[in-house]
Structure 1
Amino acid sequence: MNGDWTTDQVVALAPDPASAKNGKGLATLNKWSNLGKDQQIIWGECQGSGKDPYRTQVDLSEPAFRCSCPSRKFPCKHGLGLLFLMVSESTALTNGTPPDWVADWITSRAKREEKQKQKTSEPEKTVDPEAQAKRAKARFNKVEVGIQELQVWLHDLIRQGLTSVSTESYKFWEQPAARMVDAQAPSLARQLRDIPSVIASGAGWQERLLQKLGKLHLLLEGFQRLDDLPMGLQADIRTQIGWTQNQAELTESENEQGSNHLVQDVWLVMGQQVETEERLRVSRTWLWGQSSDRYALYLQFALGTQPFEHNFMLGTSLEAELAFFESAYPLRVIITNRQSSLSPISILDNLGSETIDLAIASYSRALVKSPWLERFPFTLQQVIPIHKEGKWFIRDRAANLLLMSSRFEHGWTLLALSGGHPVTIFGEWNGNDFYPLSILVGDKLYVA
């Protein structure tokens, strides 16, 4: 049952270090009762501060979690504690018939999976093409008017000079952002609302602001010439404005060369991060295909304490068919067919770039195809994390330095994991700084 699980893999599932620590603290037999297992399901009851113990269950094949505790973290410390206990005290989880509360969960999960399969296999509901075209045209016209107004506003801002906005309040940017929401261009609104953080980013903000406004101008100009651009670039522009791609059509769509966007491969889980935007949690998981030698970004969204549909363990692999979204530089995917569960994988030595210059060159080539890439995957070989003048950098064998993001708070941990020796580090590059997500030490990937 626990042959493929290690303590490091359980730690990788924790939403934060505190949860991992608390989970380890619960991995003692005297805190648990009614422990059991059946195939890939494990369960137990953990005594908390209340009268009744918390009922905890884990489906190891995903993994998926459920617990009766009120925690908003996912997985909670009880789910992690049950996994830690399985690793350290595997004989304590005896084979048996799942109790009713576990059986109900198994049944509900099976029904959801069956419902999802039926949904994907059912023929699409009949849509009135004329009404659909009319709605699409109405939205396009609203977006077009909104973009024309935004272009005028942007030109006025540039004529006044960037220093004129340094003292403006948040309301100055919120007004055009709200207008973009009205124009049904929500992604443009998000970009405008992000600008105050650029102005407050410290020395050199003028250059960063000009770069952001330049990309915004390029996007608006691209929309004016949408029909003259390649299909992939059209898709990028539409996405940056606020249109969403129909995921149901991804498996059927074909690119200009006639081959579809489906890629079957064994995918290595390279890195993942969960961010919270108000009550919405966003999970980003980066995968790398062994045969296809390409990266894929799998996004998931969950409201409040709602669990994500899929959970991934760093350093494991899954055999699956992925469908790439239409783009001039495709990265985002959906999972269309998952053949196997997560399993350990041997890391390939040739994965990644040998120098920072080569990594930047790959980013530049991608940027030529799609100028609005917000995050780009970097795997850097033979690099060392260093601390210099209050900032963290990645140094390669040629002594080149790559600035780490100021949001990254685990520089010392990264240095400790490397032991001061060259290692392989994976993370996200945004054009200005690097955010580490994982580090390869020996043949194991650790959370950065």
Structure 2
Amino acid sequence: MTQQEVRWTAEQVLALAPDAVSRKAGSKLGTAGPWSGTGSSREGTVWGLCRGGGGTSYRTVVDTTNTPGASGPAYDCTCPSRKFPCKHALGLLLLWTAGETAVPAGRAPDWAAKWIAGRRGDSRENGQVSAAGSGTVSADPEAARRRAERRAERITVGATELEQRLADLLRSGLAAAEQAGYGLWEETAARMVDAQAPGLAARVRELGAIPGSGPDWPVRLLEECALLHLLDQGWLHRERLPQPLAATVRTRVGLTAPPAGPPVRDHWLVLAQYDTPDPKLTTRRIWLHGTASGRTSLVLSYGAAGRAPDLALPVGLALDAVLSAYPGAGQRRAALGEQFAPPAPTTARPPGMTTTEAAARYGEALRDDPWLESVPVTLDDVIPTPDGTSWQLADADGDTALPLTPTAARPGLWRLVALSGGTPVKVFGECGHRGFTPLTAWPSGEGAAVRL
């Protein structure tokens, strides 16, 4: 059996997704319901027709010649999405992983055969496969440009409609939001999905959970509406923004781009690793710190619901590897490239700062990305101290402190308190407007990192 005949696992397919929204959308399309005319060939081609809105069917074809984790497969779809792979390609590949009963072997239709023949012909002529993973981009850049323009137009229409809905809310009063219930926000979010702006849709859904959620909910709702309005205005006037901030706005709206920063090889200290599960997907966040470059970067890994993501890096070890940053002002996310050796023990620790400096760093980061929830910081010489019904990290040599977030895990908090024993410790975590979330700590003097 050739390598092309070996069907991938769902985890390998989900690892190809450009973002969490695409993974969720692709998972929903990974069943036979919306598909017709599916098939696969021994040469590594998978194809099918996916039923869309308004009776439209999207033609989707994937060349699986390259294995996941190399340069990746190539995709072509008649949908207007700028993401590679789009949700239809992900859904088709997920269906393909189920075996021949879901996607049988067969002869490719003319439209799929023509694309794959042209793509492989170009690849042979050039001596390589496009690293972007999309034959459409290299073969027809004009078509890709037109798709991008159509999607931008749809997002603009959605952002304009959202501005009107926010204005109506403020005009009628925030109390009306509590009376309308969650349905108002879900319907608005659906409109943003139709406009192909998943980032706007996610923020709208978050608004629905605020009314009636506790004391001062109108204040919190107004704050989130203001941030959503700012994002809307950023998109509608993106041509006037500096390029890095415009890239951040595109990312926040839901458009994705491949890593754009120069590859940086370093010994990356694994600062923290934790998972965030939901019904469709498990997202793993891994914080890395370059001991030579001084950069702190975020690597994301994903797994299907109920399964751990493939990438796992033990906290406290160091990794000799290459990272490439994603575009956008203040963006910390990076793609993990070639690894030159397995993670190994190290005595290195990240440099730290005071609680005052940590709060200032978050404030500075908001200038580049006003929608930023938190920033990674390492606190030096802090002591966990009770503060009424909550806890805080207080500077050992000062009179300032950072409150811990309400979501700080209690088992992790008790481990931190036990590690400190009333003495200063070094703590890495995420500092934001809700407080500080501790993730890893080091005892004073010698000692290995403790995952909280």
Please give the TM-score of this superposition, normalised by the length of structure 2. Answer: 0.68
**Pairwise CA distance, 1:167:** 4.2
Question: What is the rounded CA distance, in whole Å, between the counterparts of 1:271 and 1:280 in structure 2?
Answer: 20
Partner of 2:378: 379
2:69 partner SS: helix
2:356 alignment partner in structure 1: 357
Partner secondary structure for residue 301 of structure 1 = strand
Give 1:406's aligned amino acid. P
Matches within 5 A, 1:187-266: 187-199=199-211, 201-245=213-257, 247=258, 250=259, 253=260, 260-266=261-267
Which aligned pairs between 1:277-296 and structure 2 lie closer than 5 A? 277-296=278-297
SS at match of 2:422: coil
* 1:29-68 mapped onto 2 (5 Å cutoff): none
Query: How large is the RMSD of aligned CA atoms in angstroms?
Result: 2.2
Q: Which residue number in structure 2 is paired with residue 447 of structure 1? A: 451
* 1:114 to partner: Cα distance: 6.4
Query: Aligned letter for 1:131?
Result: A
Alpha-carbon contact 1:429-1:435 (below 8 Å) kept: yes
Q: Which residue of 2 aligns with 1:40?
A: none
CA distance in structure 1 between the aligned counterparts of 2:66 and 2:236, rounded to whole angstroms: 43
SS in 1 for 2:370: coil
CA distance in 2, matches of 1:166, 1:316: 49
Deviation of residue 226 (structure 1)? Answer: 0.8
Q: C-alpha separation between the residues in 1 aligned to 2:68 and 2:284?
A: 24
Mark the CA change 1:162 to 1:114 in structure 2 (over 3 Å): closer, same or farther: closer
**Could you say what secondary structure the match of 1:212 adopts?**
helix
| 1:6-64 Cα distance to aligned partner (Å, 9 max, x none) | xxxxxxxxxxxxxxxxxxxxxxxxxxxxxxxxxxxxxxxxxxxxxxxxxxxxxxxxxxx
Q: How many residues align?
A: 325
Residue pair 1:272, 1:286 contacting (<8 A) in 2 also: yes
CA displacement 1:216-269 (0-9 Å, x = unmatched): 111111111111212211111111111111x3xx3xx4xxxxxx4322211111
Question: How far, CA to CA, are the matches of 2:68 and 2:187 in structure 1?
Answer: 43
* CA–CA separation in structure 2 for the residues paired with 1:399 and 1:204: 29
TM-score norm. by structure 1 comes to 0.68
Quickly say closer, same or farther: Cα 1:375–1:200, change in 2 above 3 A.
Answer: farther
User: In 1, Cα distance between the equivalents of 2:175 and 2:402?
Assistant: 29
- Give the alignment of 1:130-209 within 5 angstroms: 130-199=142-211, 201-209=213-221
Task: Name the counterpart of 1:128.
Answer: 140
Q: Aligned ranges for residues 291-302 of structure 1 at < 5 Å?
A: 291-302=292-303
Q: Is the 8 A contact 2:291 2:348 kept in 1?
A: no
Give the Cα separation in 1 of the matches to 2:212 and 2:428.
28
Superposed, which structure 2 residues align to 1:325-364 within 5 Å? Answer: 325-348=326-349, 351-353=351-353, 355-364=354-363
Q: In 2, are the aligned partners of 1:270 and 1:315 still within 8 Å (CA)?
A: yes
- Unaligned stretches of 5+ residues in structure 2: 1-64, 74-127
The alpha carbon displacement at 1:325 in A equals 0.4
Contact 2:66–2:72 (8 Å) recurs in 1: no
Post-superposition CA distance 1:366-408 (Å, at most 9, x none): 1111212123112111111122221122212323232212222
Structure 2 counterpart of 1:425, which letter?
A: V
- C-alpha contact (below 8 Å) 1:356/1:380 kept by paired residues: yes
Q: Verify the 8 A CA contact 1:384 1:422 in the aligned structure 2.
A: yes
In 2, the alpha carbon distance for the partners of 1:113 and 1:267 equals: 28
2:248 touches 2:331 (CA, 8 Å); kept in 1?
A: no
Distance 1:314 1:268 in 2: 8
Instruction: Give the conservation status (yes or no) of the 8 Å contact 1:261–1:325.
Output: no
Evaluate the alpha carbon distance shift between residue 123 and residue 173 of structure 1 in structure 2; reply closer, same or farther with a 3 A threshold: closer
Q: CA deviation at 1:295?
A: 0.8
CA 446–172 in structure 1, closer or farther in 2 if over 3 Å, else same: same
The answer (yes or no) to whether the contact 2:182–2:209 under 8 Å persists in 1 is no
Between the aligned partners of 1:181 and 1:235, the Cα distance in structure 2 is 20
**What is the aligned partner in structure 2 of residue 50 from structure 1?**
none
Superposed CA offset, 1:116-167 (max 9, x none): 3354963352432222222112111111111100000011112233343234
- Secondary structure of 1:359's partner? helix
Going from structure 1 to structure 2, the CA distance change for 1:196 and 1:340 (only over 3 Å counts) comes to same
Matches within 5 A, 1:24-103: none
Distance 1:418 1:405 in 2: 19
Residue 423, structure 1, aligned to residue 422, structure 2:
no
Query: In the TM superposition, what is the alpha-carbon distance from 1:275 to its structure 2 partner?
Result: 0.7
Distance, in Å, in 2 between the alignment partners of 1:434 and 1:271 is 14
**Matched residue, 1:368:** 367
Residue 209 of structure 2: SS of its match in structure 1? helix
Stretches of structure 1 that go unaligned for 5 or more consecutive residues are 1-111, 254-259
* Matching residue's letter, 1:326: P
Residue 430 (structure 1) shift: 2.8
Distance 1:365 1:293 in 2: 18
Q: Distance in 1 between matches of 2:212 and 2:321?
A: 43
Q: Which amino acid aligns with 1:432?
A: R
2:416 — aligned with what? 414
Is the contact made by 2:282 and 2:308 (CA closer than 8 Å) also made in structure 1?
A: no
Structure 1 Cα separation of the partners of residues 179 and 448 of structure 2: 48
Structure-2 change in CA distance of 1:152 and 1:273 (3 Å)? same
Name the structure 1 match of 2:438: 436
Q: 1:128 to 1:176 in 2, by over 3 A?
A: same
